[in-house]
Structures are given as structure tokens and as C-alpha cells.
Amino acid sequence: MSTNQSIQRFKELDQGFVQPQRCYAPMPFWFLNDNLDAQEIRRQIHDYYDRGIGGFVLHPRVGLPRSLGWMSDKLLGYMRVAIEEAKHLRLTVILYDEGMYPSGSSCGQVVASNAGFACRGIDHVLLKAGEPFALPEGCNLIAQTQTRHGQLLIAYDRKIKAEIRGLHYLNHDQSRIEASADGARPNPAEDHPPAGDLLNPEAMAKFIELVYDKYYQAFGQYFGTTIQAIFTDEPNVLGRSPERGKIMPGTTDIMVHINRILGYDFTPYLPALWYDDEPDALHYRCDWKRAIGIRLEETYYAPIRRWCDEHGVQLTGHPSEPDDISTERHFHIPGQDMVWQHVLPGNDSALVGASSTMAKCASSAMVHLGLTRNANEIFGAYGHDLTYETVQWLSNWAMVRGQNLLIPHAFYYSTRGPRLDERPPDIGFSSSWWDRFKDWAEHVSRICYLNTQGMQQCQIAVLCGTCQLPDLLVKPLYENQLDFNYMTTSDLLERASIDDAGIHIEKMHYQVLLSDGSVPITQALSPKIQQLVNHGRFIQSKPLEDTLQYLKGMTNPAIELSTPQSDLRVRHVTCDQAHWLMLFNEGIQAIDFECKILLPCKQITSIDVYHQTARQCQQKISLSIASGQLHIIHALSCF
């Protein structure tokens, strides 16, 4: 087949894939980080539009002059300029709810409104028998109990040193310096506004009033149209605190809620929070962490979700931990973030560790909650040396795991002075691959279209709790091209049905549920697990290699490889009576192999998505996929 013929065949594919709508395109963070100008705002938006973006997240960022304070009328005025220009170009806008992060403090305004809303934590003291102790001023008794060594432990809550990153340099004039004589760029100190108490519902009501209500007052006419969502960023109950480790997360009335959530009195186990030699210390620390997480959902996520429901806008963003799947249920668009080179090609970070689970965390939540999109704040703090090849690898890594809204970190309004070095890279004007951004955006749009419109074909669920998603258990699944989704205990209890054919939840039908034994089988969960056991559909195994053949026999693989390919990842979706197979080379070397398509189909097309060519082929296909590249097989169904 000639090149012209293969290009024509590509153009004849599903037009939603060939020419995807902008809603599937990347939506970058846009750092508003310097003196702003309405004409420059419009100019940049048009340049970004020409590069193929679907919209942007308006993100006030460090480097703003003090005349453009957080939620000030002047700053909101410039944001209005951007929103109106986006409306003109039919781009989507996501608002950002903090100045700067983590979310929940309104750039210190929550604490400024009431000093009692400042972040608090749980401290303690150990006393010998009869030793006197008086609570420090401003502290409240939480509980007292005996340690295993017979000492008296008194736990109390207190205000802690906790901050967030702010929007302004402490010496704004210093930010004008381009470089010193030796070429070094300046690194000026930043504002550090006080963090609010995210576990205090009154403090969080004030946060909603200061940010969400004010956004609605300013831009409510655009909610649900141009403004599709509000982004909340890694809310953390301890803010950015140097006291982490010494201080446990909590607040004044926390024991009432801990005991209610856990269903037992935690008081006797308080010493386990600080001392490793207490009985079952790890177990009780996990219980405390789980209960704190649930209380945070009650005081933070749930009220914000209700507000968004009432005001016709979606909630997106991501929790503070990469494997925190429980809080994802409060998002209309569940999300995670890829930061600090925690995932990279060439090492085991793609398959091992908490960050290796984050893409599946968000996409699994989307599937089981019956939602259509899930997001990834991608490339954050990956550094100036981030290459186009690594960008492609990271994007494909996320999308082959089911992610379908990429939020690149970030476009910089200004790279003047120290701004260029603030959590780089700038993937905009100063990027070494800016001239290739449009090609990348088109590729992302096509795969995100498939992940949104396509129905995932997946027959394995992996049991998980509220956090700490199994990583080692699923590593051999990835390496053997067996797709899966994480299923929380609440998914299984509240949203799934079980029969002799397996597990049914939303549009998914799972043949088998895997567990690594880390999730306790509670009294409530036990009947459902027993149903699966009775039908041979529950596997608790470490290592999983021993049961891989059994799994392959229970599922219906779409392809058969001539030789094992541990670096190959496969995602299978169906869309408009066609099968689409995404084959991603996660390794650092090219892979060459032959595969056989096992699907009932009448026409098979091999697609080079980068060169936009396609060729008809037989059931057996020889493929060569470069490192970080993704190849697509299209198979027209017989039915």
C-alpha cells in the first residue's frame, strides 16, 4: 500500500478519532504569575488555541504583584478577560480554588477571618506516676491513657505551625533581577499564608464563602458553559508543616469522630500513634489515618461537592496522596497528579510504589462511579530537562491506564526572573518542544477520545481499601497484558452486584476479584466475598505469578503474543461496533513481536497514530514499537 493510500485509510476511520473535538484536548494549568495585561492575556490564549488546547486552568501563582491579591476585584477582572476570550473561542475554563496550595485556606483569609480557624494537630506528653502537668494555653485535652510501659500519655490538640505556599515574593523588586553576575538566577523568598483547619466544618464553610461563593458572584453566568469545573488541589489536614511526624492530624473534637467512624473507642490505642513498640502500632496508625481521611471527606470534600452540585459546576482536582481512592468519589472528574519525577521511564517507578497506582486510581474511580472523565495534573516539577520523548512516554503511560483528561503543568504567563525556575518546566513559550506541542495535543486528543467514548473491556478487579492501593500484586498483570481496575470495599458493598457470572458494577462485568490480603474482610464484606469464593471468582495470592494461567483462562484476551513482552501494556475498548487496542511500549528499548488478534472481527487495521497512516492487515501482525510509543489496532466487529 502506498503512503497516500495509507493516509487516506486513516482519514476514513471513525471521524471522532481522526478529528477529535477540543473537549478531549489537553487543558494546561496557566500560571498567572506576574503583572497582568488584558491584551497579553488575549494574545497568549490565541497562541495556545492555535496549538490545539481544549481550554485551561486559571491558576494564580507566585510572582503576582501585591496589587493583584488573591480574590481581589482587580485579579478577578483579569480572570474575566480570560474567561470571556475563552468563551469567544469556545474553549473550556477550570477555576483554581486556592492561592496557591494546598487548598483550603484561601491564601490565609480563613485564618484572618477567625484565629480559631488555624490548623491544629494532636500532640502528647508522657508522665510518670504522680508527675504534675498543666495543659499549655490554647490547648484542649483529647484523652489520657496508659502506655504499655505504664506511663501516662496525655494527648491534646494545639495550633501548629502550618502554612501554604503564597502568591507573592517577599521582595517583589528582587523578582525583577534576571541573573546575577555568575549567571545564577535568583530564588527569592515567598509568602507563606497560614493554613486553615480542614477538619473544622466552620472553617471550611468560611473557605467556601471566601472562594466558591465569590467565584459564583463574579462568574456565575459562565458556570456550566465556559466554566466547566473548579479545581481543588491536594488538601492536606496538616498543610505544609515542619511538625509532621511529631504531630498527628486532628482537631479539637476529633476523638468523637474517630470513635464514631471506627466503631470503637480509640483512646487506649493513642500511644501507638507515636511509639513503635506499642501492640499492633501499625494497625492502629492505619485506622487513625483512615478515620481522619473519612472525617476530611465530611468536613471538606462533601460540602464542596454539594456546593458544586447546587451551582451547576463540576468539582475536579486531586487528593494529597497518589493512592487515595476513597476521596475520589466526591469528584465529578476524579483526578491525580504526576509530580517530582515520581514516575519515569527506565526504572521500576512505573510499576512499583504509590505513584505507580495513581493513574489507575483515578480511572477506576471514574468507571465505578459511572462518570465520563478522569484527570491527571501531569509533568509538575519534572524540571527544565523534560524532553519531548519523555512527555510522550508519560502521557501514554497515563492514557493506557484509562486517563482521558490531561492537565499539563504548566503554561507560564511570565518566565521573568525567578519565575522560570518555579516548579518547572514551562511547557509553553520557553519549552524546547513548543513547536511540537500541537502534534502532541492532537495525539492526546485522539487517545482521550477513545478512552472517553470507548467502553473498556476488562474482566479483572483488584480489591483495595480507602488508600494504599496494591502495586506489587498488579505488576504481573501489566507485564502479561491483563487489564484491571481497582475496586474499593465500598464499591463492592454499595454499588456492585454479584452472581454466578461474577461482579457487575455500572457497565463493567468482572470475572474475578483479586486480593493481596491487605484489605480486612469485615463482617459486612464477608457474605459478598463468600459468594465469589463459592463460584471460584476470588483469588487471594502472593505472588500472583502462580495464578496467571488460571486468570488467562477465566478472561478473554484480545491478543496473543508470539513471545512474552513484559514492557507491553494493552488497553482494549469498544466504540461504535469496533474494537480499539492500544499497545504501549513502557520500556526503554524498542520491542519487535508478532501478535494474533483473537477478536471476532471482519476487518483489521493497523494504525500509526503519529504519522496518521493506516493499513489493512491479517489476524497475525508483525509490530515494532519504539520506547514510549503507542500503536493502535482497529478491528471492525462481526456483530
What is the DSSP code string of 201-243? HHHHHHHIIIIIIHHHHHHGGGBTTTEEEEEEE---TT-B-TT
Cβ atoms 560, 592 nearer than 8 A? no
Q: Is 140 in a helix, a strand, or coil?
A: strand
Torsion of CA 438, 442, 448, 450, to 10 degrees: 180
Provide the pLDDT for residue 184.
57
* pLDDT of the residue at 556: 84
Q: Domain ranges for the chain, please list them.
A: 458-554, 559-637
Q: Which amino acid is at 197?
A: D
Confidence of residue 543 (pLDDT cuts 50, 70, 90): low
Question: What one-character DSSP code corresponds to residue 383?
Answer: -
Q: Residue holding cell 486513516?
A: 10
Query: Do residues 481 and 428 touch, judged by C-beta distance below 8 A?
Result: no
Q: Which CATH class is domain 458-554?
A: alpha beta
Span 380-413, pLDDT tens digits: 999 999 999 999 999 999 999 999 999 999 999 9
* Distance (Å, whole) CA 600 – CA 639: 8
pTM confidence score: 0.94
The mean per-residue pLDDT over the stretch 488-512 comes to 94
Residues 6+ apart with CB under 8 A from 115: none
Q: So what's the pLDDT on residue 240?
A: 93
Count Cβ atoms below 10 Å from residue 136 Cβ, excluding itself. Answer: 10
From 358, 444, 449, select the one nearest 407 (Cα to Cα). 444
Residues 412-436: tens digit of each pLDDT? 999 999 999 999 999 999 999 999 9
* Cβ(300)–Cβ(211) below 8 Å: no
pLDDT tens-digit readout, 144-196: 999 998 899 999 999 999 999 999 998 755 445 454 445 556 678 899 999 99
Please, what is the average pLDDT of the chain? 93
Residue 542 is predicted with a pLDDT of 62
Distance of alpha carbon 301 from alpha carbon 545, whole angstroms: 39
Q: What is the mean pLDDT of residues 338-367?
A: 95
Per 3-state DSSP, the chain is made up of helix, strand and coil in percentages (nearest 5) of 35, 25, 40
518/334 Cα distance (integer angstroms): 24
Cell representation of residue 76: 478577578
Q: Could you write out the three-class secondary structure of 536-592?
A: CCEEECCCHHHHHHHHHHHCCCCEEECCCCCCEEEEEEECCCEEEEEEEECCCCCEE
Whole-angstrom CA distances from 588 to 328, 346, 357, 403 are: 32, 6, 20, 22
DSSP letters, 300-342, are: IIHHHHHHHHHHT-EEEEE-SSTT--SGGGG-SB-EEEEETTS
Q: What backbone phi and psi angles, to 5 degrees, belong to 99?
A: -130, 75
DSSP string, 142-163: EEEEE-TTSPEEEEEEEE---B
- How far, in Å, CA of 606 to CA of 105, rounded? 51
Output 322 or 542, whichever has higher pLDDT: 322
589 pLDDT higher than 90: yes
Look at the block and give the residue holding cell 466554566. Answer: 227
Confidence of residue 610 (pLDDT cuts 50, 70, 90): very high
Torsion (CA) 519, 520, 523, 527 in degrees, nearest 10: 50
Residue-level pLDDT at 181: 47
**pLDDT tens digits, residue range 203-222?**
999 999 999 999 999 999 99
Among the four given CATH numbers 3.40.190.10, 3.50.50.100, 3.40.50.300, 2.60.40.1180, the one describing domain 559-637:
2.60.40.1180
Residue 639 predicted with pLDDT over 90: no
481-499 average pLDDT score: 94
Q: Nearest to residue 303, comparing CAs of 200, 159, 193?
A: 200
Element (H, E) at 637: strand 630-637
Please give the pLDDT value at position 133. 87
**What are 564's three cell numbers?**
512474552
Q: How many other C-beta atoms lie within 10 A of the C-beta of residue 206?
A: 21
Task: Identify each DSSP E strand in 61-193 by its residue range.
Answer: 92-96, 120-127, 140-146, 152-159
Nearest CA among 545, 567, 580, 555 for reference residue 627: 567
Could you write out the DSSP letters of every residue in 586-634? -SSS-EEEEEEE-S-EEEEEEEETTTTEEEEE-SEEEEEE-TT-EEEEE
**Contact indicator for 104, 98 with CB cutoff of 8 Å:** yes
pLDDT digits (tens, 9 = 90+) for 249-305: 999 999 999 999 999 999 999 999 999 999 999 999 999 999 999 999 999 999 999
For residue 514, list its beta bridge partners: 462, 539
pLDDT digits (tens, 9 = 90+) for 225-238: 999 999 999 999 99
Q: Give yes or no for a contact between 605 and 634, defined as CB atoms under 8 angstroms apart.
A: yes
Check residue 177 and give its pLDDT. 47
* Cα 364 versus chain centre, distance: 11
Q: Which tens digits make up the pLDDT trace of 73-105?
A: 999 999 999 999 999 999 999 999 999 999 999
| Separation of alpha carbons 463 and 475, rounded Å | 15
- Examine the pLDDT at 455 and tell me if it is beyond 90: yes
